[in-house]
Amino acid sequence: MAKKFVVVDLETTGNTHGRGDRIIQISAVVIENYKIIHQYTSFINPGVEIPPFIEELTGINDEMVADAPDFSEIAPKIYKLLLDSVFVAHNVPFDLGFLKNELSEVGLPLANIETVDTVELAKIMLPEAQSYKLSDLSELVGVQHENPHQADSDALVTAELLLLLINKARKLPLVTLEKLSALAYYLKSDIDSLFTKIVMDKRRTIDDLQVELEVFRGIAIRKKQVPETPILSQKVSFPKTKKEKQFLFDNSKNRLLLRDGQISMMDTVNEAFTTNKHAIIEAGTGIGKSLAYLIPALYFAVENKQPVIISTYTIQMQDQLLYKELERIKNIVPFSFRATVFKGRRNYINMLKFEHSLSEVDHHYDTVLTKMQILVWLVQTETGDLDELNFSSGGQIYRLRVEHDGWFYSQEKDPWKSRDFYLHARNQATNADIVITNHAMLLADAEKDGDILPHYQYMIIDEAHNFEKAARKCFGKKLEYNSVKFWLGRLGSLEKKQLLYKFEELIVQRKLKPKIPSEKIENALSQLEVELDDFFLILGKLLYNSVHNGKLTTKHQLRITKKILESRSWQALQMCAERVYDFHRCILRGLDNRLQLLKEQYKELSESERAFLEEVNSFMKKWQLFGDTLKTLIIRPEEKEVVWVEGDIRALPNSISMFGQPLNLATVLSDGFFTKKNSVVMTSATLTVNSSFHFFVNEIGLNNDSAIKKIIQSPFDYKNIAKLMIPTDLPEVRGTVDDQYIEEISNHLIAIADATEGRMLVLFTSYDMLRKTYNLVKESEALEDFVLLGQGITAGSRTRLTRSFQQFNKAILFGTSSFWEGIDIPGKDLSCLVIVRLPFSPPDDPVISAKYEEIKEAGKNPFSTHSLPEAVIRFKQGFGRLIRGDTDRGIAIVFDRRIDTTTYGKAFLRSIPPVQVERGEIRDIIKAINEWL
């Protein structure tokens, strides 16, 4: 690879050169001998107007380029710069493609040129980065990015990023670099030349392995760290008085603020643990509840030598507890302690499977990239937790191959046992005072009678409002068309040379005689594929025929009711499912028989063959699960289970999924937790309705009168920092929403956006309404200089959309479902929250409709018993997005007039902290916003 790199960034009027888009700014940074020696930057007159959105994004306007040269005037200089160099860009296909087109138009066609894409290189060298956008990467690696979306700043940052990534690569062990170099040949840019050069340089010197690393079986990994057992020099005693607690906080390095609400919560948790009682605590925003439950939990765990389990709903919360809150507590409590995160086995990498996969020749891009990411990650990770990695969608498929799911042979025979990440994590958890896990793991442990987590009697469930939802998912079942087809493809016929072919090859080599011949398995597989196609065809027809209103635009759901169970269509589906199940069992028996035969030949098998059998065993578990799910959902449906089908009517059968969930979880949760544990503390900011825990308690099955119940109000002065506004000139919402209503709320949103200058989160209760509103606002062109971000419309995860929202001054984020909770946008980035509709669950949702039927049969009112309290809690969560700190100021606007015009509307207003409420037509609302902000 040439020693000269030219890092290029373009700003353009749009994404497509062929449609008349043109360059408005170009910058090229020249790097020689790994040092920046020159930067050339120029505005370019595109000959067309710069669109408002591009002006808002880049800060470049028509006036700035009016006297700039045409591209043809600077093209020779650009062309000369690029000759005999490596072209570098953050997303090479765009910048190089656009530049080639422009150069070609002025008679300077750019021939073959070596490239390095810093997006691709960053994915390899920074496998744990949450985002690979240039602004996010610059923040991650500590490079100052003064003017994002201006070519001079972007090119310079990309150049500095390139040098940082190259330097990081040079520090990798030689054994890692050699593997990366071999794999890099199959990447999209010419990174293989870069790695080859680094390997050659490395071989010329003595490669001293860093002291924290080791090379085991040809792979460089970080050595496992086993923390020392803390030695207590004094008796541990919980600080009971306010003065004692204040002393702890005052003597911490950070001089943390101790709030009255925090004191109350600390005392409540301590009381629950020391008296062996359960507790439910609603802790308002700003109390500092993590510290408030962690401190008493630590004192109790260390003093009583009893581990305390902390369970959260999200991975982000787990990380925050371990890496932020517990680090702060080290400076507060006067003793040392041990804390760890422990997840399900499948979260950890299986090194034997990974080692085996490295020896396979696989040119698939996502597989190659993911292998490279893991190789770099292994010299960094202390946990082996695959959630640390940012996988592509294709990488997620490869992940399934290398995740841990136990051993086919005993763990004693695994050559990687001494370095096994799951066993290490389990050992850490067994010896920890605080074990942080997630709701799913906690529930799985309960289902398996405590076989997964270390034995415990005391636990804290944070984000407890999601516990019932997590349980529903954990104890539920799912059958997906795409997933079934994926595992079928993974098995493959003998002709396709996938897993079955390799397995059969091993059987023939070993001259073994299975009970079920390969021809019978091959035939069963062929028949299974035919029957499966029929099965999903019948299921698709069932779904299609249930659509009466002609709407084929959105995902449709069909609950399997008693009437459907008695229909001919269902009987045909059941018969088809039974045939599928028979062929499935034949294949399962054939594979299992072969596995047992090969198990007896352990000593004769090579290590790669043993690793392959571990992979077959993993496949068998997935295959078994498919059969069991088919049986319980279709062939012998369980009573008291809600079963439904869903899919996009426009994309049948590919979009079809089938679900089954227990109708009532109260008994399951009660038996699994509250009757077996000494003390369970459940906490969240949103657990009550009208100051009562009644709804939450019923949902989770905590029928215990002795349980401690505590409501701790937020310390924020809401009356002076927040306002709630209700426009009176919108029509009332009744049932379904028509296009006229969407047009009216779109006009209101445009007016509000102008007044607040963006910084606005708009919460919807349906994706269909979100999409229509987003499109109307965009098509109106009234907000051309605003950045509009729509969940499910703008590419990216919830985290990525939230980050993008925070990066622009004039931004509007349209969200539904998950955006009602869990996103944290403090300060001026969010100053306006719009709630479009009160968040009632749709009555035709399968689980909701089944619950309503059960409530009616019990002689109760489904609306007041379930629908209203659930919506109130959801409303509280949505409102909670607005004020995240005591210096925040903001406005919440509710478009749904039912909050004023119905008797139940008061329940929503009473559920939020006391704020000023204003009502009026939109012009009055706009005036009030201007005065307030």
Lookup: tokens for 673:
């937790």
> Is 722 annotated as a binding-site member?
no
> Is 287 annotated as a binding-site member?
yes
DSSP letter (8 states) at residue 218: T
Nearest Cα to 751, choosing from 525, 503, 930, 563? 930
The residues pairing with 252 across neighbouring beta strands, listed in sequence order, are none
b (16+ CB within 10 A) / e for 364-392? eebbbbbbbbbbbbbbebebbbbbbbbbe
Task: Evaluate the omega torsion of the peptide bond into residue 227 and state whether it is cis, within 30 degrees of 0.
Answer: no
The residues pairing with 834 across neighbouring beta strands, listed in sequence order, are 762, 893
CA geometry: angle at 229 spanning 223 and 233, to 5°? 145
Q: Tokens 């924020």, residue?
A: 716
> Is 286 annotated as a binding-site member?
yes
Helices then strands (H, E): number in the chain?
A: 38, 25
> Is 476 annotated as a binding-site member?
no
> Is 432 annotated as a binding-site member?
no
Lookup: tokens for 142:
């500590």
Mention every residue, 6+ apart, whose C-beta is less than 8 A from residue 623.
Answer: 487, 491, 584, 587, 588, 591
Q: How far apart are CA 749 and CA 653, in angstroms?
A: 38
Q: How far apart are CA 60 and CA 79, in angstroms?
A: 24
Check the CA dihedral 602-606-610-615 and report its sign.
negative
Lookup: tokens for 19:
């449609």
- Please give the C-alpha separations between residue 361 and each of 202, 553, 800, in angstroms, as whole numbers: 25, 42, 34
Q: What is the 3-state secondary structure (H, E, C) of 602-638?
A: HHHCCHHHHHHHHHHHHHHHHHHHHHHHHHHHHHCCC
Strands (E), 544-612: 555-559
Asked if 645 and 656 touch (Cβ cutoff 8 Å), the reply is: yes
Q: Tokens 């090479």, residue?
A: 92
Give, rounded to a whole angstrom, the gap between the first and last alpha carbons of the chain: 56
> Is 745 annotated as a binding-site member?
no
How, if at all, do strands 434-438 and 339-341 pair?
parallel
Q: Tokens 């001919």, residue?
A: 568
Q: How far apart are CA 818 and CA 531, in angstroms?
A: 37
Asked if 138 and 124 touch (Cβ cutoff 8 Å), the reply is: no
Q: How far apart are CA 451 and CA 455, in angstroms?
A: 8
Largest pairwise CA distance in the chain = 86
DSSP letter (8 states) at residue 116: E
C-alpha torsion 915→916→922→926, nearest 10: -100
Nearest Cα to 700, choosing from 124, 278, 356, 407? 278
Lookup: tokens for 189:
């840019």
Q: Side-chain half-sphere of 110: how many Cα atoms within 13 Å? A: 25
Q: How far apart are CA 293 and CA 459, in angstroms?
A: 10
Q: Which long-range contacts (CB under 8 A, 24 or more apart) does 869-873 make?
A: 869/689, 869/694, 869/695, 870/695, 870/840, 870/841, 871/838, 871/839, 871/840, 871/841, 871/908, 872/689, 872/690, 872/907, 872/908, 872/911, 873/465, 873/686, 873/687, 873/689, 873/695, 873/696, 873/911
- Please give the C-alpha separations between residue 405 and each of 33, 228, 387, in angstroms, as whole numbers: 47, 29, 15
Nearest Cα to 428, choosing from 317, 347, 337, 328? 337
Q: Which residues make up each annotated binding site for ATP?
A: 283-290
Q: Which residues make up each annotated binding site?
A: 283-290
